[in-house]
Amino acid sequence: MPWNEPGSGNSGGNKDPWGGGQRGDSPDLEDVINNVRKRFGGGNGSGGGRRGGGLSPVVIFIALALVFWATRAFYTVQEGYESIELQFGKYSDRVGAGLQFVWWPIEQNIVINSENIRTLEIGFRKNTGTPQSIRQEAQMLTTDENIANVSLAVQYNIKNVEDLLFNVGNVDIGRNVIDNVVRGATESALREVVGSTTMDDLFNKGRAIVETRTKELLQRILDRYQTGINVVAVEMQAAEPPAEVREAFDNVNKADQREQQLIKESKAYEERVVLEAQGRAAAVLAEADGYRQAVIARAAGESERFTQILSEYEKAPEVTRKRLYLEAMEQVLGNTNKVIVDQKGGNNIMYLPLDQIRNNSNRPQGEPVADQAQQLIESAQKRLGNARGGR
């Protein structure tokens, strides 16, 4: 590629490959001829025609052609750049930084910055410092059929200059061609990822997942077409609803937050009630177990008591029967509000327990006293009979 063409790596203007200074306006033809004559030992002709011993116009033309050819054949590749050399339009070689040479015009070169990381904006532009949304790029449809404005920045570099040159094409005309390739692939990948993501995930917890999936899908697309482009990073800048529905979306968010709060409160109430119910159930079980143990102990005590009574009854039946009768009468008559006085006792002073009589009068009256006494006696006799039969 000539020194004065884009991408030649010669920043700072058009320079002579032989180390000459920067060119200005085109020099006068007569001055050029005189300089060539002086360099090759010619005369100091002033444009008045060819003198004896001077150079012919053919020699001058050849010298000028060589100088022009040298400016095309020699070029410099800066650090961080790579040069692809073409021979008759086909790939010939790839060279790095330094002074390089091609056989122009059968060979030419294209210099590309292969190490610099470039940033591409999707869905927005920072032309004036403040991000401006690009609606046709930013608006996308989520999987739950909601519209979202999504913008992100893509960082990329060139990993294979040959693939970029021969599969993308026209890269020598500037960076815009490469940016357009990356932009189209990024929009395709991002729309596919957003189209499979719900709005809630896109706006909240799923942003990192969207970035990762977009980067992976974008790299697969670029590799599929062998563009030679490497995706360094994908960073989501914004994900929000359109301005027309933002207020309604905020209301929905508030309702969702209220719902989550109520769910948390209900779960806390549920846990508290369950714990209280479990505590009450444990208390009831403990009380029931205590009652069971008490009944067992009482039954065991009564059984032991009747066993002892049986032993005494066998020794003295009449005495034991009399004692059982008196105990039964004491138990029965203790619940009545009547006082039985033994007139044969000979006591002149009689004490009446009025307080006890009054308390007993407030109790509900049960069965007749005689019936109660009879039942107690029959029960005692039956138990004695069972105990005797068991022995």
Cis check: omega of the bond before 105, within 30 degrees of 0: yes
Query: Strand pairing partners for 156?
Result: 118, 231
Share of the chain above pLDDT 70, in %: 69
Q: What is the pLDDT of residue 345?
A: 57
Does residue 165 have a pLDDT over 70?
A: yes
Q: How far is CA 22 from the centre of its chain?
A: 58
- Say which range, 88-92, 199-203, 213-217, 302-306, has the weakest mean pLDDT: 88-92
* Angle at CA of residue 294, ends 288 and 299, nearest 5°: 125
Q: Give the span between the Cα atoms of 86 and 217, in whole angstroms.
A: 33
Does residue 114 have a pLDDT over 60?
A: yes
Residues shown for the chain: 391
Averaged pLDDT, 94-100: 76
Q: What is the pLDDT of residue 12?
A: 38
Question: Is 235 in contact with 212 (CB distance < 8 Å)?
Answer: no
Closest of 321, 322, 328 to residue 385, by C-alpha: 321
Q: What is the pLDDT of residue 44?
A: 47
Share of the chain above pLDDT 90, in %: 18
Averaged pLDDT, 38-46: 52
Please report, in angstroms and rounded to a whole number, the separation of the first and last CA atoms in the chain. Answer: 128
Q: Give the span between the Cα atoms of 233 and 170, in whole angstroms.
A: 25
Q: What is the pLDDT of residue 187?
A: 92
Question: Which SS3 state, helix, strand or coil, does residue 124 take?
Answer: strand
**For residue 120, what is the enclosing H or E element?**
strand 118-122
- Say which range, 127-131, 334-338, 377-381, 386-390, has the weakest mean pLDDT: 386-390
Token pair 């002086």 in the structure block, residue: 38
Does residue 215 have a pLDDT over 90?
A: yes
Q: What is the pLDDT of residue 3?
A: 34
Q: Which residue has the higher pLDDT, 165 or 277?
A: 277
Averaged pLDDT, 139-144: 87
Q: What is the pLDDT of residue 59?
A: 82
Kindly state the DSSP code that residue 340 receives in the 8-state scheme: -
Does residue 390 have a pLDDT over 60?
A: no
Question: Is 9 in contact with 83 (CB distance < 8 Å)?
Answer: yes
Q: Which residue has the higher pLDDT, 243 or 298?
A: 298
Q: At what angle do helices 317-333 and 369-390 cross, to 10 degrees?
A: 140
Q: What is the pLDDT of residue 104?
A: 81
Q: For the chain, what is the radius of gyration of the CA atoms?
A: 57
Q: What is the pLDDT of residue 17?
A: 32
Confidence band of 222 (pLDDT split at 50, 70, 90): very high
Kindly state the DSSP code that residue 28 receives in the 8-state scheme: P
Q: Give the span between the Cα atoms of 105 and 68, in whole angstroms.
A: 11
Q: Give the span between the Cα atoms of 121 and 342, in whole angstroms.
A: 119
Does residue 26 have a pLDDT over 50?
A: no
Which whole-number Å values give the CA distances from 68 to 37, 77, 123, 209, in the listed order?
A: 18, 19, 47, 57
Q: Give the span between the Cα atoms of 252 and 293, in whole angstroms.
A: 61
Find the farthest-apart pair of alpha carbons in the chain and give their distance in angstroms, rounded.
Answer: 190
Token pair 């670029």 in the structure block, residue: 222
- Say which range, 45-49, 71-75, 170-174, 365-369, has the weakest mean pLDDT: 45-49
Does residue 36 have a pLDDT over 60?
A: no
Tell me: the pLDDT tens digits for 237-266? Answer: 888 888 777 777 778 878 888 898 999 999
Q: What is the pLDDT of residue 154?
A: 93
Confidence band of 7 (pLDDT split at 50, 70, 90): very low
Q: What is the pLDDT of residue 291?
A: 92
Does residue 46 have a pLDDT over 50?
A: no
Q: What is the pLDDT of residue 384?
A: 57
Q: What is the pLDDT of residue 348?
A: 56
Q: What is the pLDDT of residue 48?
A: 45
Q: What is the pLDDT of residue 45?
A: 45
The mean of the pLDDT values for the chain is 75
Pairing of strands 98-101, 74-77: antiparallel
Q: Which of 8-12, 17-21, 27-31, 203-207 has the highest mean pLDDT?
A: 203-207
Averaged pLDDT, 348-376: 58
Does residue 349 have a pLDDT over 70?
A: no
Confidence band of 81 (pLDDT split at 50, 70, 90): confident
- Say which range, 268-272, 322-326, 341-345, has the weakest mean pLDDT: 341-345
Averaged pLDDT, 135-156: 87
Q: Residue 124 is which amino acid?
A: F
